Structure 1
């Protein structure tokens, strides 16, 4: 008995000792005026509460309890300060590269970036400059007819033959195929299909618990990411060999072709691995978020007849101004003002991205509280999007909020802001509006589960995929 106690006693006392140390550290007086809040349980932090409540409720509860400007917590194993409201957004956006630097959880880096840590900043800076160039409106104009043609084919094959469709699954299919077309100029169904399953595994694991053990979601994501990367490397290698035999004026308009011509500060072309990292990041960023945004828009169009009717009126005027097989143009997109206000109100209520992380590179003060060097920060869309101070009756769907000058600065931030504002903002706008046009000009929509819940995975997702009944317009 004594022998057993000799072994068991340390197992009980050591965790208790560690917890007491942690508790003392949390409760002991501190010279630094840290933001109010709690870091939760040792090791676990507040991860369980965050997952249980969902990001919106988690933030709302702590704003109410601790501070409406900034509070502290512990997520992903990091000491973290959550910045709230328009002033919090503005502060973080405007101090990028001054007080703060971009930061991502190590688990996410392992899934998406196969590079040495020392190379990450240079590649990230180069990637950001490149993305801003290729996603400028003037560069994107040429993609609108491609988006429209693919949307027409998608609707004809996946929607028209069915009386009922699940919008989220089909939105993901369209977004996935469009990305491969525009980013890689890959239209071969076999190639696209071969990457679909491993790509889904990768997406599912990005925000999973980072336990790389056989059978876990994260382990499957690691395997899926490896398979996707191997396929990308084959495509990149083939394209590079093709381009070596082509003249410059015959280069394709897709992003891969452009990326193969990009050079760094030393005049060196990007390696195939660097290009693979860039392309994979683009595929991931454009897939789940845009699919979620499209699904949310369709949800409100099916749920709110008065909104649908106004969108239908606007889109039919555009459709009637064109020949039967004539594709959409930039000028048509610019006429979709009410439709874009509807999309923006949808993005306000159900933003695909919850916010973004930063790392404090030097200690600073915000709202009277000190944020130490090395802490992570997070800005959150919900603290401004659902704030009645900025948006009266915040749960009401009201596209008129975006008429005229629209919301006050830093209150509507689905794409972030400052130097790191999402470079794909305009790409997402075009994709959403093109899809809206092709759906509403063909169908009236009936939502089959009026009270369907929204659950949070990587993005807000309808619990059952948003099934809707299609009522084709009579010719």
Structure 2
């Protein structure tokens, strides 16, 4: 009997040894081609993911890029992130190549943990579903449609500031910015306007973002595990909203054009098939993520930089916004023409997004073998990062200086670029400007933690949420 157990033990050890051998062999074999870009693949399975994520948590994601660019004397280098062989593309020339070759040499790609957090209810690839969604969005994000959203955003902003900011001597900005942008998204995508209902959705929703770019360890208590559970809960809540909307459409109390949800419920394909409820819930969840996370980060850093920069920058924003406010009659909401007048405010917001880009970067996948500063094999992932140009002195002579010279093409990329450019860019612009208008016409403020540390989780976030002391303007 002892010999039997000893044999089993030896067999187990042998199998583990063989598994580790193949793991190490496959990890290093795929990166041994001498024509590949220079770089280091790190450890098997995890690659350099831990170092990449830890530098983000420390608030210096650009160090991962600049250290390797200097070490390998190259704008293109290989690494391994999230279990994938990856090529990092840095600087404007690389951005141009990547954005110009969308669907020619590369296609959009997300790490597997994203698919686990947002599992599709259909047997189609995420790429096919994303393409369908992008075909549907233009009519809701067209210039004509956006013009009708300004007043709605202003109404939400006024209610938000009245309930969350006014009559307070201090606030923590980041959770309030998330509350504002999520409320706007719920109102425009789902026609959900009740603050209690919005807060109920947000409770689960706010657990998703930290898990998207986390280490994919599905154990209780990890950000990844919390995100998976939150995704299930919020989908059930969305399904309840969808079922109610179908009833409202049937009895005529809802319009097919009132929001994206009604449109999705009323649209059919060329075969007359309507979208399944769970498919719609999947897509609405994705829209809610894209419709508020990046904008909430941008709004937060507008507040941060206006508190820390020379006073004349705030004063110029205040002057521009008060000219607009004084032109309005009692109860009159902001409109499209008002947004067009906020040129200086938008320049400030753009500089904020250059210094703290809400979209850090994204992945593509090589469709075939090709050459670009080295051999890029089919199936390898390519990653561009905004910090490689936003804080690069070759692109911005004084990268840390606010209000620098205008950016050259492919250097300022807070929303990505090419066909994959964020389809909600103009939507986010309006949302940020409406927030700035309602903020500066009410308050001046100061940061309670000077030079508060910034972490990337997965978006840039002040470590303590940016507490500020408010000073209301006198009537």
TM-score (norm 1): 0.92
- 1:314/1:75 CA distance change after superposition, 3 Å: same
Deviates more, 1:19-28 or 1:414-423: 19-28
CA offsets 1:217-242 (integer angstroms, 9 cap, x no match): 22222111111001111111211221
Counterpart mapping for 1:78-157 below 5 A: 78-157=84-163
Aligned equivalent of 1:409: 409
Deviation at 1:119, TM superposition (A): 4.8
CA offsets 1:176-213 (integer angstroms, 9 cap, x no match): 11111111001233432332222122223222222223
Pair 1:273 & 2:278 matched = yes
Aligned counterpart in structure 2 of residue 25 of structure 1, from 26, 29, 32 = 29
Aligned equivalent of 1:41: 43
Deviation at 1:19, TM superposition (A): 7.3
Q: Is the 8 A contact 1:123 1:274 kept in 2?
A: no
Aligned counterpart in structure 2 of residue 387 of structure 1, from 382, 386, 392 = 392
CA offsets 1:270-328 (integer angstroms, 9 cap, x no match): 22122111110011112221111100111111112121011001111111111131110
Deviates more, 1:73-82 or 1:17-26: 17-26
Pair 1:257 & 2:262 matched = yes
Counterpart mapping for 1:322-401 below 5 A: 322-367=328-373, 369-398=374-403, 401=405
Q: Is the 8 A contact 1:198 1:224 kept in 2?
A: yes
Quote the Cα distance in structure 2 between the aligned partners of 1:13 and 1:271.
47
Quote the Cα distance in structure 1 between the aligned partners of 2:31 and 2:206.
44
SS at match of 1:118: coil
SS at match of 2:87: strand
Deviates more, 1:326-335 or 1:19-28: 19-28
Q: Is the 8 A contact 2:88 2:382 kept in 1?
A: yes
Quote the Cα distance in structure 1 between the aligned partners of 2:170 and 2:369.
55
Quote the Cα distance in structure 2 between the aligned partners of 1:26 and 1:255.
44
Gaps of 5+ in 1: none
Quote the Cα distance in structure 1 between the aligned partners of 2:241 and 2:372.
48
Deviation at 1:135, TM superposition (A): 1.1
Aligned equivalent of 1:285: 290
SS at match of 2:206: helix
Pair 1:466 & 2:472 matched = no
Quote the Cα distance in structure 2 between the aligned partners of 1:280 and 1:128.
14
Quote the Cα distance in structure 2 between the aligned partners of 1:80 and 1:446.
42
Deviates more, 1:80-89 or 1:15-24: 15-24
Question: Any runs of at least 4 consecutive aligned residues in structure 1 with deviations exceeding 6 A, and if so which?
Answer: 1-6
Q: Is the 8 A contact 1:68 1:85 kept in 2?
A: no
Quote the Cα distance in structure 1 between the aligned partners of 2:340 and 2:65.
36
- 1:328/1:117 CA distance change after superposition, 3 Å: same
CA offsets 1:370-416 (integer angstroms, 9 cap, x no match): 10001011111111111111111101111x53xxxx42111111111
Aligned counterpart in structure 1 of residue 71 of structure 2, from 65, 69, 81 = 65
Deviates more, 1:205-214 or 1:57-66: 205-214
- 1:216/1:119 CA distance change after superposition, 3 Å: same
Q: How many residues align?
A: 466
Q: Is the 8 A contact 2:386 2:413 kept in 1?
A: yes
| CA RMSD across the alignment | 2.4
Pair 1:205 & 2:204 matched = no
Deviation at 1:451, TM superposition (A): 1.6
Quote the Cα distance in structure 2 between the aligned partners of 1:20 and 1:240.
53
Deviates more, 1:180-189 or 1:459-468: 180-189
Pair 1:159 & 2:160 matched = no
Quote the Cα distance in structure 1 between the aligned partners of 2:25 and 2:256.
63
Gaps of 5+ in 2: none
Quote the Cα distance in structure 1 between the aligned partners of 2:269 and 2:24.
52
Quote the Cα distance in structure 2 between the aligned partners of 1:434 and 1:229.
29
Quote the Cα distance in structure 2 between the aligned partners of 1:464 and 1:357.
29
- 1:93/1:466 CA distance change after superposition, 3 Å: same
Deviation at 1:339, TM superposition (A): 0.2
Aligned counterpart in structure 2 of residue 236 of structure 1, from 229, 242, 252 = 242
- 1:425/1:73 CA distance change after superposition, 3 Å: same
Deviation at 1:260, TM superposition (A): 2.2
Q: Is the 8 A contact 2:443 2:470 kept in 1?
A: yes
Q: Is the 8 A contact 2:361 2:383 kept in 1?
A: yes
SS at match of 2:465: coil
Deviation at 1:16, TM superposition (A): 7.1
SS at match of 1:461: strand
Pair 1:303 & 2:304 matched = no
